[in-house]
Structure 1
Amino acid sequence: MMRFDIVGGGAIGLLYGARLALAGHLVTIWTRTAEQAERLMDDGIELVSQGMIQVADVNAFPLHDCSRAAVQSVEGETKTNHAILIAVKQTQLTVDLLEQIGKLAGPDTLVIGLQNGVGHVDKLLQAVPNANVLTAVTTEGALRHGPRTVEHTGDGIIAFGDPVGEMGRKSASNDEQMERMKQSEQEIRHKMLLNTFSSAGITSELSKEMNNRIYQKLLVNAVINPLTALFDVRNGELPQHPRRASLMRSLFEETVRVLAAAGMTGDEDRWQQVLQVCERTAGNISSMLADVRAGRQTEIEWINGSVCRLAAQYGLEAPVNASVVQLVQAMK
């Protein structure tokens, strides 16, 4: 049995929290508001999937109550079976939140970041230097209905692995034998995490190419999210209009050039992959469109803004990405 602290009570946080709790694991959801925490504590997470409704009992606390005392009060805690799943957007990964995550994480904790874009891994490595920080990408579909109900809208996979390369490096020990022992222990714990996800019916994969996966997801997000927000359409509607499809293609081609320069590899037909995502999630409202409609801060700076910063780093220009950043920011 593992214990999970899930930071964030949005769709993905509730989806993973419900599935892990229903599989018998100990789950605590850390929420932005005390009201949501109270509802989750009293009534559990309501998971809607394939026409069925299940209720998962979880612990829940507001993030401002985050402390070691609260963590240690959870029954069944051990030092080596603890994982923190960070399921908040880049915009919410503030200095205060990172400090709170630091209170949750011990030296043996697996800390898994699920943020879009790039830049979050280095923040996590600095905030929890003694923990085992992993980066992750998920393709699960989820939609939150109210404070405690989440609908599983599409099967996907969660891939995780060690951050490497420019997006985060782990410090190496001077003692090679100690470092090998540490790596062996981490491999065991990573396999335990895979088994845990499997027990909850969650398809997972341990990847040694996480940077590439992050870039691949960034490409999809950079094309779909800002344009659905600007045109106020669902994902499936985006490529149906010829002019929107042409703009999609321009944004796609520019983003591919930048990410390829940054190290994205693979021979896949990435344009078809973007179109397939639109088709597979045709009825979905992108997170950026949802943020615009709700008057919330969007992740545009961390998605297309990340592409612009990578372009500058590699001596390229990204005028289409820069334009959509300005346009989305002007919608506030």
Structure 2
Amino acid sequence: MGKLHIVGGGAIGSLIAASAHKNGVPYDCYPRNIRTMPARAQWQDGQSIELKTAMLGPVILEKGDVLILPLKVYQLNAALKQWLPYLNQKPTVVLMHNGMGGLEVARDLLGADYPLLLATTSHGALKESTSSGDFHVKYTGLGATQIGAPNLVKPIPQKLADLLQVAPQLANAIATLDSSLPPVQYRSDILTALWAKLSVNAVINPLTALHDIQNKHIADAEFEQTRRKICHEFTLVANAYGFNFDEDEVLKNVLSVAKATGENYSSMHQDIAHGRQTEIDAINGYIVEMAKKKGIPAPENTLLVERVKALSV
């Protein structure tokens, strides 16, 4: 089993670390700011998991190691450049972020044939500060992680057992992640899964941020026209790139996720609330950018990008 090296001190990365600790998987954490790195994680049943002391900086990785980057897309370039000198053995790199654009960043820096995995997770985690000034992470919702290998040449292995024959390093990395924070599900069509998540984020994130609301209010009647317009533009753009999304199904899925996560506040809502940079460029901005390349109008997504950026100034 390889060792996990988790970059950043955010909620999901800290949850992965805590679950790895709980399940006996070797790991280290590399936060940008050690002071804000969670010292422990609290499970839904009240169980508390203490985390290892964080590392001060990158270390040389072995081929069997796994470098996980659960970061914002806009943080990826700097993080990968920092780690590049330590990746001579070509350990597996896992990108795990909201929105899109990370694959392009990684390919530019690592090359199109690097052993790379893309992942998206529905596990819920919340990073909180305590009265004493320490930080902890709370496991707020059991989910699953979907993962795939975008750099493999076609035909893409359809099952994990097939991937083990073609790319054992990647299959073993997936197994290590599954041992850390299960379940981890291999997806041969990971890009389809990521575009599907993009459609959800494109509706929920900007609207909750702009209107200061919980996810459940996305289903309110006042947002019906906006929801439909966002999903319409998304479907046109995604299908122009070879996907096969149905607009009504996209909208149905958005509403389903909004209701299932109803009491939550989206990550973009929280970024605005705490004065942080948002991921609007990697979500609605990505749809706009890809639309331009195909000559497709995307006025609703363009407006959302402008409004969120105005709000975050």
| 2:138 is the alignment partner of 1:144 | no
1:47-126 paired onto structure 2 within 5 Å: 47-62=41-56, 65-68=57-60, 79-94=62-77, 96-126=78-108
Distance change in 2, residues 1:313/1:257 (3 Å):
same
1:193-272 paired onto structure 2 within 5 Å: 193-240=173-220, 242-266=221-245, 269-272=249-252
Letter in 1 for 2:143: G
Bigger mean CA deviation after superposition, 53-62 or 310-319: 53-62
Bigger mean CA deviation after superposition, 153-162 or 215-224: 153-162
| 2:115 is the alignment partner of 1:132 | yes
> Could you list the runs of 5+ residues in structure 2 that have no partner in the other structure?
155-162
CA distance in 2, matches of 1:106, 1:5: 15
Deviation at 1:246, TM superposition (A): 2.6
1:296-311 paired onto structure 2 within 5 Å: 296-311=276-291
Specify the alignment match of 1:283 in structure 2: 263
Distance change in 2, residues 1:193/1:67 (3 Å):
closer
Q: How much identity, in percent, do the aligned residues show?
A: 29
Letter in 1 for 2:35: E
CA distance in 2, matches of 1:159, 1:225: 20
CA distance in 2, matches of 1:104, 1:35: 24
CA distance in 2, matches of 1:124, 1:252: 28
> Could you list the runs of 5+ residues in structure 1 that have no partner in the other structure?
72-78, 164-168, 173-182
Deviation at 1:15, TM superposition (A): 1.0
Asked if the contact 1:112/1:134 (under 8 Å) is kept, the reply is yes
Specify the alignment match of 1:315 in structure 2: 295
Pick from 141, 146, 152 the counterpart of residue 159 of structure 1: 146
Deviation at 1:49, TM superposition (A): 2.3
CA distance in 1, matches of 2:212, 2:28: 35
Asked if the contact 1:143/1:150 (under 8 Å) is kept, the reply is yes
Asked if the contact 1:6/1:85 (under 8 Å) is kept, the reply is yes
CA distance in 2, matches of 1:162, 1:290: 30
CA distance in 2, matches of 1:199, 1:305: 35
Q: What do the CA deviations read for 1:262-299 (whole angstroms, capped 9, x no partner)?
A: 22225682222111111111111111111111111111
TM normalised by structure 2 equals 0.87
Q: What do the CA deviations read for 1:196-215 (whole angstroms, capped 9, x no partner)?
A: 33333511111111111111
Deviation at 1:170, TM superposition (A): 6.2
Equivalent residues, number: 298
Asked if the contact 1:91/1:298 (under 8 Å) is kept, the reply is no
Asked if the contact 1:15/1:150 (under 8 Å) is kept, the reply is yes
Distance change in 2, residues 1:18/1:106 (3 Å):
farther
Q: What do the CA deviations read for 1:291-331 (whole angstroms, capped 9, x no partner)?
A: 11111111111110100011111120000000000000001
Q: What do the CA deviations read for 1:202-239 (whole angstroms, capped 9, x no partner)?
A: 11111111111111111111111000000010111222
TM normalised by structure 1 equals 0.82
CA distance in 1, matches of 2:30, 2:181: 23
